[in-house]
Chains A and B, each alone.
Chain A
Amino acid sequence: MIKLEKRPQPSRLWTVLAPLLAVLLTMVVGGALFWFLGANPFEAIRTIFWDPLFDPQFAPFSRPQLLVKAGPLILIAIGLSIGFRAGIWNIGAEGQYIMGAICGAGAGLALYPSDSVLVFPLMILCGALGGWAWAMIPAILKTRFGTNEILVSLMLVYVAENILASMSSGLLRNPEGMGFPGSRNFKQWEAAHNAELIPNTGMHWGVVFAFICVIGVYVMLTRHIQGFNIRLTGDAPKAARFAGVSPARVVFLCLGLAGALAGLAGLFEVSGPAGQITIDFNSGYGFTAIIVAFLGRLNPIGILLAGLLMALTYIGGELAQLMLGVPGASIQLFQGMLLFFLLGVDVFTNFRIRLTKPELA
């Protein structure tokens, strides 16, 4: 008989090994899926994980995309991971991302066509504030009324999507756009454009912010009292209360930070790679970031690596779609499977597997 025995401490080795094993399992099962869909499994896996980086034909184009896609994923996932550690489940990052983009872009567009150097910093500030404010709704409702933050933050995604639709065909619509929905394009307005900083690397201000956040949050979690309070609240809520940690403050801190970072991600996306506010501007980064946060073990360095890997599956997925005719949705399934395998494999981190002889009843 197989028996699970709880480890007194999570295994250090398996904490690192579990994500790698999960990726491996996903490749095997994903390969089988591609085979079932009529593609060569080895070719498909190579197209997704290898070709975007090293194939001489595709790499020059797709390598910069890696940072473009990883930037927002890392920014959002870092914010989410802080909350997940404290047991605060903000799953509405997609909505905070949209609101950040709308507020940031709106602040910029109000000043059009100014060429002041202050336009872009102001947009960044308003983007962060927009995401923060949207995350404050579940935070206030949770601390004031005890309302479940999972459901509220998720419902707010749908509300934000409706606001986005109304904004892109109403208030923020390009007055010179011949009535088509969609705002002015930031790529044609230098003062507000989040341009590539180093040519052909994909490096823009959002990626820089993502790296800064990785370091900042790492320091906060390991060296700062607030980081300690957050981890304590998640691991032992009662002990945290006895130690004088205010649960409400942790809620505000976690949701606020996650919202602000998601808002920043939205602003950098709208003013850079996306270029404009459109009805379908959001592309699900807020949900994929949940996978990134878990795959990175809620650890900033891990999230950095997981964000890059997840970005790779996006780019590789597009490539596989183009080259092998694999349906685009299979990549979404592929990413979901990764989270599933990780959660399953994690049993080794927290439990020891023991083989025992069947007991006599």
Chain B
Amino acid sequence: MDLSSINPILLVASIMVSATPILLAAIGEMVVEKAGVLNLGVEGMMITGAVVAFAVAVNTGSPILGFAFGAFGAAALSLTFGVLTQILLSNQVATGLGLTLVGLGLSSLIGKPYEGVKAPSLPRLDIPVLSDLPVLGRMIFSHDIMVYLSLLLVVAVWAFLKYTRGGLILRAVGESHDSAHALGYKVVRVRLLAILFGGACAGMGGAYLSLVRVPQWTEGVTAGAGWIALAIVVFASWRAGRVAVGAYLFGGITVLQLNLQAAGAAVPVALLSASPYVITILVLVFISARGMHGAPASLGRPFHASS
């Protein structure tokens, strides 16, 4: 094994790239869960976003349009989840699973003609002055725009939930939908909006996978990233800052195991490939052993105005 072949600058840079899709999906899902809705369809929305973005980017030549349509497509898909769970009052767990299955089917149907095609790449955004810094510049300040947008989004979500009236209403709906309803807030409307936001974020995350991270369309390209995003929300105890920490930790593990495989570490490849999932389980166990702090009180419970 040759550890010296791993370049620390490239390592950190690729950790940021590998964390971004999960970060986008997880921050969206956190908002959804803060509103009291458990959407297990993140994987389905992500992969739909991935395929829509890829198709649009290939056909128009514009990755930015790809991201926009990826977010839009996944949000549209999440609306079916919203209608089923909020208006037709179906079981959220079952509907979320259904959303994943539908998303996987839909994406492989749309994506068939795009296998093996190359997508236009997102231009790198060198931040002036900062990107010229000796080591840090290459490491942190010369990525594409989505990496920075995702981090900005975390700050925006944090500020929205903590300091705005809208954020307060959203949290109230998630903690006790009956009280929020009694106060005159539109529970279903708030939740539908949160679900749409979550869908759009997951779609962008998926788009980042197929357009930047991989960058290619293959069936099942998300490989469980949506489920890991769900786990990260639990890991983060429903806090925006910790979601970012979780996503970057996970991105680190993924990149590190890939680098170890490339460096020919004396560990079985299967073990290395499985390590992100195993570590996610271990983290979940560790978090749950301390008790579920911060879960919104109405999480996953259906709301019906008459009751």
Residue in chain A with minimal CB distance to B107: A329
Q: Which residues of A are found within 8 Å of B60, using beta-carbon distances?
A: none
Cβ-defined partner of A287 (8 Å) among B101, B108, B277: B101
* Contact residue among B84, B112, B280, B288 (Cβ-Cβ distance under 8 Å from A343): B84
Q: Is A294 an interface residue (CB 8 A)?
A: yes
CB distance from B223 to the nearest CB of A (A): 7
Q: Is B202 close to A, CB under 8 A?
A: no
Is the beta-carbon distance between B89 and A163 smaller than 8 angstroms?
Answer: no
The stretch of A44-52, A184-192, A346-354 in contact with B is A346-354
A151 with B84: in contact, given A5-B306, A332-B104 (CB under 8 Å)?
Answer: no
Q: A56 to B291: give the CA distance in the assembly, Å.
A: 62
Among B124-132, B142-150, B266-274, the stretch that binds chain A is B266-274
Which one, A84, A150, A155, contacts B277 given CB within 8 A? A155
Q: Is the CB of A332 within 8 A of B84?
A: no
B76 within 8 Å of A (CB atoms): no
A162 and B270 contact, Cβ closer than 8 Å, known pairs A146-B292, A148-B284, A343-B84: yes
Q: A155-B224, A330-B105, A333-B109 are in contact. Are A344 and B281 (CB under 8 A)?
A: no
Task: Say whether A35 faces chain B, with CB atoms less than 8 Å apart.
Answer: no
> What is the predominant secondary structure among interface residues of chain B facing chain A?
helix
Residue numbers in B under 8 Å from A6 (CB-CB) = 304, 306-307
- When distances are taken between beta carbons in the complex, the residues of chain B under 8 Å from A84 are 94
Contact with A along B63-105 (1 / 0, CB 8 A): 0000000000000000010011000111101110111011111
Chain B residue numbers with a CB within 8 Å of A287 are 101
A291 at the binding interface (Cβ < 8 Å): yes
Q: How many chain-A residues does the 8 Å CB contact rule pick out?
A: 45
Whether the Cβ atoms of B112 and A151 lie closer than 8 Å is: no
Q: Which among B278, B285, B304 is the interface contact of A145 at CB below 8 angstroms?
A: B285
Cα–Cα, bound, A158→B277 (Å)? 7
Does A4 make an interface contact (CB < 8 A)?
A: yes
Q: CB-CB contacts of A318-361 with B at 8 A, as 1s and 0s?
A: 00000000010111111111011001101100110000000000
A–B Cβ pairs within 8 angstroms, 6 of them: A148-B284, A151-B284, A155-B231, A327-B112, A335-B101, A340-B84
**Residues of B near any A CB (own CB < 8 A):** 40, 80, 83-84, 88-91, 93-95, 97-99, 101-106, 108-109, 112, 219, 223-224, 227-228, 230-231, 234, 268-271, 273-274, 277-278, 280-281, 284-285, 288-289, 291-292, 304, 306-307
A interface residues (Cβ-Cβ under 8 A, vs B)? 4-6, 84, 89, 91, 141, 145-148, 150-152, 154-156, 158-159, 162-163, 165-166, 287, 290-291, 294, 327, 329-337, 339-340, 343-344, 346-347, 350-351
